[in-house]
Amino acid sequence: MENITKSFEGNKVLEELSFHVNEGEFVTIVGPSGSGKSTLFHLIGGLYTPDSGDIRMDGERMNGQRGAISYTPQSPSLLPWRTVLDNILLSGEINGEKYELEALRMIERAGLKGYEQAYPSELSGGMQQRVSFIRSLMSPQSLICLDEPFSSLDEFTRMEMQNWLLSIWEENKRSILMVTHHIEEALYLSDRIIVLSGKPAKIKKEFSIPFPRPRQESIILSDEFLQWKRNIYNELRGT
């Protein structure tokens, strides 16, 4: 993202925003509600075009271009007339036996075994989110964008899903850009955290997170983790 500015009817939401995601990197953007995080994804996904600035992938300009990334929206957007398995398989260019086996494996790992042929209306919000997630993880695009993917989950399920995501990501290092307002989640998962200011959103600070991989759940109780949490909290609060 190079100097991205975006307004809606004269209401400036993003201002001169620049950042990048390296290949195989897990980057998280944290910012207050209404700071333009979802707007950022709509820009990257080509649903909106920036007023100024450029969005590039592998050096190629992709302003307003759709289909280049895999995007999991804030609320799960499953097709109600398709089963869980078909929502995962029929979403992209993926089909065939190899993908079906992989999808079944991921469904099982996400704790959804037995729901392969269920319809979205038969699932809880958290379960739908997991399906939405698997669909993203299985998509062929090299950049996965996750918009507050765990926000509808209770604390326990959240931790489980984070561990699940980490184990899958650590296996095949896709590039991930996530947004969240949950600091601990950002710290636990990310290689780098970018802190946004309130509206119009600018980048306040970037942090490289040094915790070794594979990440151990026990780090979240360590003093170092708490210190990081404090740093980022203070940055968000502007102190």
Site of interaction with ligand ADP (CB under 6 A):
8, 13, 31, 33-39
Q: How far is the CB of 81 from Mg ion (least distance, A)?
A: 27
10 Å Cβ neighbour count for 171? 9
Name the binder of 13 from Mg ion, ligand ADP, none, CB < 5-8 A by kind. Answer: ligand ADP
CB closer to Mg ion out of 127 and 146: 146
CB closer to ligand ADP out of 37 and 215: 37
CA dist list (Å): 222 to 21, 92, 217, 226, 230: 27, 41, 10, 6, 13
CB closer to Mg ion out of 74 and 157: 74
Q: How far is the CB of 37 from ligand ADP (least distance, A)?
A: 3
CB closer to ligand ADP out of 37 and 130: 37
Site for Mg ion in 185-224 (CB under 5 A): none
**Residue 152 lies near Mg ion (rule: CB under 5 A):** no
10 Å Cβ neighbour count for 188? 21
**Residue 38 lies near Mg ion (rule: CB under 5 A):** yes
Rounded to whole angstroms, how far apart are CA atoms 59 and 164? 32
Report H helices in the chain.
37-44, 84-89, 97-109, 125-137, 155-172, 183-189, 223-237
Phi, psi of 93 (to 5 degrees): -85, 10
Q: How far is the CB of 149 from Mg ion (least distance, A)?
A: 11
**Residue 77 lies near Mg ion (rule: CB under 5 A):** no
Rounded to whole angstroms, how far apart are CA atoms 79 and 200? 34
Reported in sequence order, the residue ranges of 18-86 that DSSP labels E, i.e. its strands, are 26-30, 52-54, 56-57, 60-61, 70-72
Q: How far is the CB of 35 from ligand ADP (least distance, A)?
A: 4
Q: How far is the CB of 179 from Mg ion (least distance, A)?
A: 7
What single DSSP character describes residue 216?
P
The residues that touch Mg ion, with contacts defined as CB under 5 A, are 37-38
